Structure formats: C-alpha cells, structure tokens
Amino acid sequence: MAAAAVCPVVGTTNTMLPPSHPSVDLSKDGLVCPVTKAKTDHHHNLEKHPGIPADSSNAEECPALQKIVSKPDQKAMDEGICPVIGTATSVLPPDHPSLSGKNDSDVCPVTNAKLGDHKDKITQHPSVEGAAKDAVCPVVGRSA
C-alpha cells in the first residue's frame, strides 16, 4: 500500500474536506479555495465530506479522522485535529513567513487562517540553513 502524500504546507495527509466547506470544483485547475487560499491544481485528491447532523461539529468524533489518526505514522507526525483540515502538524514549514509581531486578528498569508485561532498551537520549524542535501527533518523524521 502506498504511503499517503503529505501536504508540504500544513503537514496533513487528510483528503476529506470538512462538511461545512463551501463548494469548490476540484476537477478544474486554477480555482482558489475560499477557506485556505489553496489552488485546486494541487488538490485533485480531495473529496467532499458526506453530510452530517447539523448539531455535530466536533472533528474528533468523525469516523474518517479517527481512522486516519489511529495510524502510527500519523500519530508520530500529527499533533492535533483542526476542524478545517483534519489532522495536521503544528510545526510551520521552514519557508513559512514570520508571524512575529502579528496580531491575533491578522490572517496567515499562506493558509488564510486567523492567527488568534492558532495562538500557542503552532511553532516555527527549526532552521534548515546549512543543512545537508539528504538531511533528515527533525520534525517528521524524513529526508526530502
């Protein structure tokens, strides 16, 4: 069985859009997600979540996410469950713009997420400056 692809931006292998996600035609290149600003060009592997009861908004109760989070490699890499993208690493990628000096009401320039929603939940990736070509990432334990 092939390993699931890891998103280089948010570190998730989840391919299921949340039930509340606005409709986006993922088969067409060039469209931009209204939630995360991601381009559809790179997300043909996503699918819309099946309908759920209106009073159920806890992502941790989702059977699809529970299955994903139960995988050992996911437990090692994924550190939380985001209600928008599911499981994701809490370490920002090395090339993420600095968030120092930003306010809680500011929006991430990469994912369009409100910074206040992620306060004390994310950390900057350790510096990769001067790392060898085949160096192993200290966050996910894999080489590029």
Q: What is the pLDDT of residues 25-63, one digit of tens each?
A: 888 888 888 888 888 887 888 887 776 655 555 655 666
| Unique residue bearing structure tokens 């985001």 | 82
Residue 73 corresponds to which amino acid?
D
From CA 73, how far away is CA 65, in angstroms rounded?
14
The encoded tokens of residue 128 equal 């990769």
pLDDT band at 92 (very low <50, low <70, confident <90, very high): confident
Task: Report the Cα 49 to chain-centroid distance in Å.
Answer: 16
3-state secondary structure (DSSP) of residue 10? coil
Q: Which of 144, 79, 67, 70 lies closest to 118, judged by CA?
A: 79
Domain count of the chain? 1
CA–CA separation, 53 and 112 (whole Å): 27
- pLDDT at residue 131, as a whole number: 79
Residue 79 pLDDT exceeds 70: no
Domain range for 38 is 1-144
pTM, entire model: 0.44
For residue 113, is it left (φ>0), alpha (ψ between -120 and 50) or beta? Answer: beta
